[in-house]
Structure 1
Amino acid sequence: MQSVPRLVANDIAAALKRRIAAGEWENGRMPPERDLAGEFGVARNTVRRAVGMLEEDGTVVRHVGRGTFLAAANSDSLAAAVMRMEGTSPADMMEIRQLLEPAAASFAATNASAGELNAVREAHRAAIEADDMPIFEQWDAEFHHRIFACSRNEFLKEIHNVMRILRNQSPWFEMKKRSFSEERRQTYCREHQAVLDALFGRDPEGARQAMLAHLQTVARNLLGR
């Protein structure tokens, strides 16, 4: 579960990205951290953490003694494209998940080592044993993350990492929290087991179909359709 300061920093990072994308700082330089802290009404350390997130994903570059500068003046750059993904709708996200994750599961059934599959099973067991929603969400996300790792496709894995960052923002967490119930948790665990059975059975088509069925359930619960 993410701490409150971490969630606040995520929100500030998202807000800063939107402002960068809107061209607010056309001179290519962001205001000092102390000014941003006053503007957002938070501690300077929280702003520093948020700007650090932007630095990690290539949005900005920090130079000691000089300030923080935008790295993505070019709208065709990778960092600019990632910034535009910030406002991805839940419906769009679920459509892409239903395209990519069944393929990842299929690749995993063929390519994963026994150790990698055991890691997926460990995440599944932890999700089964979870006694509250945040812990379940943590292990549910880890279950899917480890399947992408099993795919042995580095590009596919990195696309999933971008999706995971977007889904870790507080609005997504609140949406999942509203749709959560113990009955749905048990359903998800049963569907995860079906995916796991296909993976261990080295059945790529079975893994694909089981993952798609699971994501369709998730989409119905999150989006009501």
Structure 2
Amino acid sequence: MNQLKARGRRLAHGGAWLPALVLAAVPLASIALYRHPFSSAINGGTVQYPFWAGLPDRQRSSVLSYAFWLVAVPLAFVFVARWYRYRENRAGVRVNWRMPVVAGGTGLLALLLLFAAPTGTPGFTFDWWQGLLTPLMSVALAAVALGVAERSLGIAAAGLWMGGLAWQFCATGFVGGLLGWQDWVLSGGSGPGLGGQLGFGLDRPAPAVVVMALPLVLVGAYRAVRLRGQGT
């Protein structure tokens, strides 16, 4: 009976790898929206919020950024829904796949509300509201809901990681921006802890997005390899 239950769980939740990778692919593809994705943040120009490219850095075209998120995000959710319907028909198992899709739809609605959000230029002070003005939040929300539906702590944690970093970088107004307490800890507990900016290339859009999406990629890849090894 235990073996049958374990096999049932593998069948029911064995398809989570593909939605995880699809959700990770969306922010990774958004790297192309930045004017200088591999060079220093902001690059001497001004950046306004909402951050339609995803992070506070100069974008190639605002219209291109709008089009990308308003097309790529719904397509990802449609793909996820179709994938779960396929698994239902093929394996005869059902997962509450509507939860991540509904969560993603809610995120998409929030994405549309960004058009009505106040605009401005990031200052040198922390602003928690400014941290929410990014389309990356819709993907992070869908990933957390996917983890809950699939009973996967790894996927949910990867979604929280993505959303947390997106919020932090946008709230500070810098790619790789540090909060005051983080600056204090990294300084060895000395100094006023006024905040700062990460080095090691993480002050640039492309590496920052990769770090944000990497846990979701690793969890999805791990689940795919594990499923193949189990032969289900």
* TM-score w.r.t. length of structure 2: 0.28
> 1 or 2, which has the higher helix percentage?
1
Compare relative contact order (CA 8 Å, sep 6+) and give the higher one, 1 or 2: 2
* TM-score w.r.t. length of structure 1: 0.29
